[in-house]
Chains A and B, each alone.
Chain A
Amino acid sequence: MPDMDGEGLLVSMRGINKTFPGVQALINVDFDLRYGEIHALMGGNGAGKSTLIKVLTGVEHPDGGHITLMGKEVHVRSPKHAQALGISTVYQEINLCPNLTVAENILIGREPMRFGSIDWKKLNAQARETLVRVLGMEIDVTKVLGSYSVAIQQMVAIVRALEIEGAKVLILDEPTSSLSIRETEQLFEVMRKLKSEGVGIIFITHFIDQVYQISDRVTIIRNGLLVGTYATAALPRMELITKMIGKTITVLDEMSKAKAQSAARIGKEPVLEARDFGQPGQVEPLDLEVFAGEVLGLAGLVGSGRTETAALLFGLETPESGSLTVEGKPVNRFSPQESIKRGLALSPEDRKAAGIVDELTVRENIILALQAGQGWFRYLNLPKQYEIAEKYMRLLDISTPSADQLVKNLSGGNQQKVILARWLATNPRVLILDEPTRGIDVGAKAEIQKLVLALAEEGKACVFISSELEEVMRTSHRIAVMSNRRKVAEFGADVDEQTVMQAMAGE
């Protein structure tokens, strides 16, 4: 049993308190990490997981409490200091330099030198060797990092943390949210290997399956309070979820009922109809139609062309082949503005880079698309803006102190709801939701899925894109499967998971 001094523990955090203006983010939270342990940290959005990690990595300074690292009390002053102490973090948003090559990213600050200048040959060889040794991954290390998928970028970040920073404590913040199944397996292998070498890993994720697959213990935080730390194997799944959201979920049953009900109201004429629609290299020509009142699920692995299809439908790019009709009218000018006018809405995959405008308030974010449609001079006056914002804050249950809060201060799930609110305010006919539940806790996920069905029931056509097959199956009336940048299959709601998976795998 761990004793109170934190001896025998890699990390011990005791009685951590942290208050932000208006919010008590952490209240007397304890957390331990043993040597050679994978410890999952779970909790809803805004529960305090991120704050706890920020305290451990020196981003935030606790108002109270002690941190012991390998038996010695430490005051982590800054992220740099944390790194020097052997605590490294790989965030869900990659914090490497996308314009540098993979090799440079791995070895930056430790470049091999020769005659006073960087020995590029050796640098590249060293980087390649490291990648193969740690991850068993062979890629061209001289290409810029940004040209690789998020998954690979993440792997590179992990390699850097381990090899260069010599991490003893590795924090993985939502590492798998953008990885394919195979890549996730690969990552888990690496994690197991590190574990056997005595590295302590704090694993933050929303995927409950993965918690059971990989973690030894799990700590649950809710509303800034420690719910408890448990041996994963001894904690039934249902109990874990209940502890996280603080209530038993009957949502799943409700969902299937709602879906069955709404299926009856699907329209006869497609609202959105794509024929032979595509852009070589991005999306092979495909046929797609969405009916009013229907949720069309778009399943597929990362990189299968789902996101590209969404971008093409929304007019972010101009297609090179085929036709698109919206409510029977052919589309010939492709731009977001035109699409919005036609009643389309896109909630993009990358919430931070293409969704929220983080320096603006919740109110401004919510009215943004509506106002953009109105143009420069038909300005919604402030009372009207508050009215709209507050209406959707209520409707979508957005938790924020006020409509004047900067949206960057909200949790991920609430930011996602703000983006949904932004589009709902424009009263769209077609909603394209690209990974709307990515990085969101179980409770909020179910809420958003329910919301999508409710919107369909109101007669909106929805395209629902997600990496979680289970979620797609649960939410959609019809499922289109993408693989290798082409649409490979289409199923009704009664299809079983196995069949869809085979289609995804391109079999």
Chain B
Amino acid sequence: MMAKPKSSFSMRKITESKLFFPFLTLAIILVIDLIAIPNFFSIQVRDGNLYGSVIDIMRNASTVMLLALGMTLVIATGGVDLSVGAVMAIAASVAAIMMNPVIVGLELPPDLMKFINDPQFTYSPLWEVIVVTLIVATICGLWNGILVAYIRIQPMVATLILMIAGRGIAQLITNGVRIQIFYQPYAFIGQGWIVLPFSLYIVAFVFLITWVLTRRTAIGLFIESVGTNFRSSMYSGINERRVKLLAYSFCGFCAGIAGLVASSNIKTSDAFNIGAGLELDAILAVVIGGTLMSGGRFSLLASLFGALVIQAITTSMYAFGVPAFALQAIKGVFVIFIILLYSEQVRALIRKISAPKGA
């Protein structure tokens, strides 16, 4: 992204870019859709807003894209965060109870009780809901970070704790109840539309924050350095613990935002279903984006493409009429195919074919 344009434009350079393969995969899927499914790319304009399959892919991918941004940093340090799905559920519960606390037995003044199902009513103002939710989510990430960086528990085990406990915590917060969210402005987060779905603006905004945080400060370099060789990094004076703490905290923060979007989409705090299985999609998105699970170099944009690839597969399968129960299996086949593209041998083969000899 930031390479000094010194050497010339070459095929090898393109194929070695982290963006190349996610982009290629996405393009292939979309081209198949274009040929096989009529109107796949048709976009309708209603009330000045855009609708269509392609828009749907992006909108549905937004939660995984959000998770993938935080996950990229964690994986780049050489770790992994399995708890993001559970953190989404916690975030959803916190948000829901702040807007609609009555269900858990909190006494409201009688003059407020009658407003409780009013789409314009919220107990706490929206900004407060968002801020508190994101703080809670960030604390969840911080917890993971402490376990990994300071107590030196292996990342997979450390985050597994919150993955398992998180959904329980989410239920404890709401006293085991699924809280319905009536407040209309909240629904805008996941369902709103300003020409494009509002959630996409959130993704773009979080992407920008992440990019600035990592590429306009030294943090990106430190993450890549720690992920590549943590001993050398430590010897060079990098506080690798703090770098990891930041990565996990930020990952929690992103999961919090994803939780807001997801709960806004279904208008409830559903501790069991919100974010279920999404941690794996997020990890997959990062891997498709070319970041090694062992850590090191990362590309945020490539991870976003990775998330889009996953969603494009799902949406396309539905469009092809694949029944929902077969979806996971077919997705697996695609994933194998994509991961094959990443093996050095296959890449070398592609390079051999695509680049004429002596290039």
Contact = CB atoms under 8 A, between A and B. Distances in A.
Interface stretch (B228-236, B256-264, B308-316, B317-325): B228-236
Interface centre among A346, A376, A404, A422 (most CB of B within 10 A): A376
Contacts of A336: 234-237
B329 interface: no
Contacts of B333: none
B238 to A, nearest CB: 5
A336 B241 CA distance: 13
Interface residues of B, number: 27
A357 B225 contact: yes
A371 B223 CA distance: 13
B135 interface: no
Interface stretch (A83-91, A202-210, A317-325, A358-366): A358-366
B216 A358 contact: no
A369 B228 contact: no
A422 B233 CA distance: 12
Interface centre among B6, B225, B232 (most CB of A within 10 A): B232
Interface string B84-112: 00000000000000000000000000000
Contacts, number: 83
A408 B198 CA distance: 44
A377 interface: yes
Nearest to B231: A354
A21 interface: yes
A372 interface: yes
Interface centre among B224, B236, B237, B239 (most CB of A within 10 A): B236
Interface in A334-372: 336-337, 339-340, 346, 348, 353-360, 364, 368-369, 371-372
Interface centre among A356, A360, A422 (most CB of B within 10 A): A360
A346 B297 CA distance: 25
Given A379-B216, A386-B4, A371 B232 contact: no
B70 interface: no
Nearest to B242: A376
A438 to B, nearest CB: 16
A402 interface: yes
A415 to B, nearest CB: 11
Contact of A360 (B2, B12, B225): B225
Nearest to A363: B4
Nearest to A356: B232
Contacts of B216: 379
Q: Could you say which interface size class chain A belongs to?
A: 35 or more
Interface in B233-253: 233-239
Interface centre among B3, B7, B221, B228 (most CB of A within 10 A): B221
Given A353-B232, A386-B4, A402-B6, A337 B224 contact: no
B217 A377 contact: yes
Given A353-B232, A357-B229, A373-B237, A404 B218 contact: no
Interface string B145-186: 000000000000000000000000000000000000000000
Nearest to B228: A359
Given A21-B12, A372-B238, A359 B296 contact: yes
9 contacts: A353-B231, A353-B232, A355-B232, A357-B228, A359-B229, A360-B225, A364-B225, A368-B225, A373-B237
Interface of B: 2-4, 6-7, 12, 216-219, 221-222, 224-225, 228-229, 231-239, 296-297
